[in-house]
Amino acid sequence: MEHLIASDDLIGRVRSYNPRSDIALIRAAYDYALAAHEGQFRRSGEPYITHPVAVAALLAEQRLDDATIITALLHDTLEDTSATYREIAETFGAEIAELVEGVTKLTNLQLTSTETKQAENFRKLFMAMSRDLRVILVKLFDRLHNMRTIRSLPAEKQAQKARETMDIYAPLAGRMGMQWMRDEIEDLSFQVLNPKGRESILRRFVKLQGDAGDVVGRIKDDIERELTAEAIAAEVVGRAKRPYSIWRKMEQKDQSFSRLSDIYGFRVITDSQMDCYRALGAIHRRWRAVPTRFKDYISQPKQNGYRSLHTTVLGRDGKRVEVQIRTQEMHEVAEAGVAAHWAYRDGERTENPFAVDPASWIAGLTEHFEASADDDEFFEAVKLEMYTDKVFCFTPKGDVVKLPKGATPLDFAFAIHTRIGQACAGAKVDGRRVPLWTQLKNGQSVEIMTAEAQTPQATWIDIAVTGKAKSAIRRAMRADNRSRFVKLGRELARVAFEHVDKKASDKALITASRHLGFDDVEEMLSRLGSGELAARKVVDTLYPELASKRGEEIDARRAVLGIEPGQSWVRGTCCRPVPGERIVGITMPGKGVEVHAIDCPRLAQFDDQLDRWIDLHWHSGPHAAVNTVGFDVTLSNDAGVLGRICTLIGEQQANISDLVFADRKPDFYRLLVYVDLRDAEHLHRVMTALEADSDVAAITRYREVVRTPVPAQ
């Protein structure tokens, strides 16, 4: 069982790096938490107070300020005890009360629950981070301690916590620069989620050590000898990578453990930046460097302040060895990440030149997706920006642009400016013309070519990687689609009104939009054009007497004869039969009857289930124009063609229910037109009228792909 760290012990740890700390306030917080959690126990049976004190001690190891240490001591009091925000504010001050409340709100966010809106809660997480980053620091160390002591929880709860840690907190710790924490909590989660996989990695490590001996020690000695020969003072530390890191490499590279070579990592800590590069030269002279595995984060630091030289060389027996080279100051930031901003030494805030200002860090992290009003878009952007490595590319002028790994020239264009991204007509990488979907690599020079008439294309969504680019493309597409849908909706409305010998005047459309509850006419027309609103409904709103006349037609619900009373039926979407065509029914257990044309290819799937076949035929008489049929139409891409096609369909007393652009080329485009028809004769008239138009290159009746048959129960 974990023992309780005494208040004097905790205070001693804080005083070791901050002799000027407010001892009385820390002791008061310790005593307050001790009293508040009196009688509470963890699942392991230990007094609950051991947890917040342990979290405070972990933060003290990072040399954090008094406010963060006290927040750790109190972080569970608002949620689990009778303590109140006002009481904490009066006793410890408003700053600490706000921090404690912030941690409490984060604890209550169910970031991976299926019962809550994950995207919405993720936005709340980032809002809390933007107010004060120390909130998430306390939460991260809270999660670290919980993962270290997770074995006392029920198995189901362990799995839920481990998944949440792997998906949310581990990437967040890495993004904040605390890679050591990411490695540890990922490995702890791996131990819960895949214990057999972890054990197999450890067993292979034991066998490897038995076969090869102390590989780490020998490589460490080799590096130290090379540095000594060059008169470079440095500390060399080596270790085997954690089991989860190795497992992930095996998964990514689809390799077995025996073929995986880069399982050892070494760190070289020098006295100066110059020595970093000297050490790199010494290592590269002694061992052959692996191409594409060198990164200079000293000249191009990460956003969280991380600086280091990374290289991979072929060491003993041809094994790959990863080496990180940095100064002591760089190492401190690499260990603490953004938390280095609050670190103390000898009673003073550490003046580390590489520690970043948290306000600028969080602003830089969120600037690309703050404008997104949609929670799902925000969540997508966060995942893209948070959980990927960076690549550094250059503009023709030599300016550096940081992008996520896998980014394309399109992302580069939007990173420079939204206006340049929207007008992007092509790109050159290192002077060569490349497709917009090309993945950029570190150090490449990218030139974006623009055109005034260029606008974002729908296919760009699949090409772009960054949240900023995707959000900007979606905004532009929404604006462009709205304009196009409004234009198409106006044409559909005109045809629908002429169908009943009426005129779609501005006044008529304004009146209809008001009665249908739309804010303005354009919103109604946009819904018409996108297929969300039927033109007939607009007409019926103004002329209900015309709708009543249609009641003389056969009720669409009783259009098929042969269906048993009370039995439901639907037209098969694969063939969409219309009155006048020979039909047959197939019973679908629990779903009624599916009506198919007698020549529907899907019927072959039921040849051995004849007991499910029903002989059906259509009711004789005039049918309502409610039988939707799809046409696959190829049109010339000229001005006014689409409007004329809509008019042709309207002249045949048919209503367009939906339009889908299937393919668009400079000279032709292909679209699927869904039309509401009465019967087979009506279908023939519409197809003949369209086929006769000179701008229609081809027209066929659209039949959907045959689906997998539904088995009989």
Active site (catalytic) residues: 79-80
Sign, CA dihedral 377-106-51-154, equals negative
Tokens representing 378 are 């925000």
Neighbours of 113 (CB within 10 A): 12
Give kind and range of the element (H or E) at residue 650: helix 641-651
Count CB neighbours of 278 within 10 A: 18
In contact, 1 and 46? CB cutoff 8 Å: yes
B/e letters for 7-43, b = 16+ CB within 10 Å, e = fewer, are beebbebbeebbeebebebbebbbebbbebbeeeebe
Token pair in block for residue 247:
């497992």
Question: How far is it, in rounded angstroms, from Cα 466 to Cα 152?
Answer: 41
What distance in Å separates the CA atoms of residue 153 and residue 156, rounded to the nearest whole number? 8
For residue 47, give the nearest of 26, 71, 76, 68 by alpha carbon: 76
507 token code pair: 């006044």
Name the CA dihedral angle for 439, 440, 445, 451, rounded to a multiple of 10 degrees.
40
**CA 504 to centroid of chain Cα atoms:** 44
The residue with tokens 């006290």 is: 70
Read off the tokens for 108: 């209550």
User: Where do we find the tokens 């404690």?
Assistant: 100
Directed axis angle between helix 680-691 and helix 641-651, to 10°? 150
In 3-state terms the chain splits into helix, strand, coil percentages (rounded to 5) of 50, 15, 30
Rounded Cα–Cα distance for residues 464 and 422 (Å): 12
Contact, 176 vs 338, CB < 8 A? yes
Q: How far is CA 73 from CA 21, 35, 123, 457, in A?
A: 15, 12, 26, 53
Q: Are 88 and 45 in contact (CB under 8 A)?
A: no
Integer Cα distance of 101 and 88 in angstroms: 10
8 Å CB contact between 342 and 64:
yes
Strands 264-270 and 320-327: parallel
The Cα-based distances of 168 to 76, 403, 487 in angstroms read 20, 21, 44
Number of residues written out for the chain: 713
d(CA 122, CA 240): 34
Q: Give every CB contact of residue 603 below 8 A, 6+ residues apart in sequence.
A: 584, 586, 596
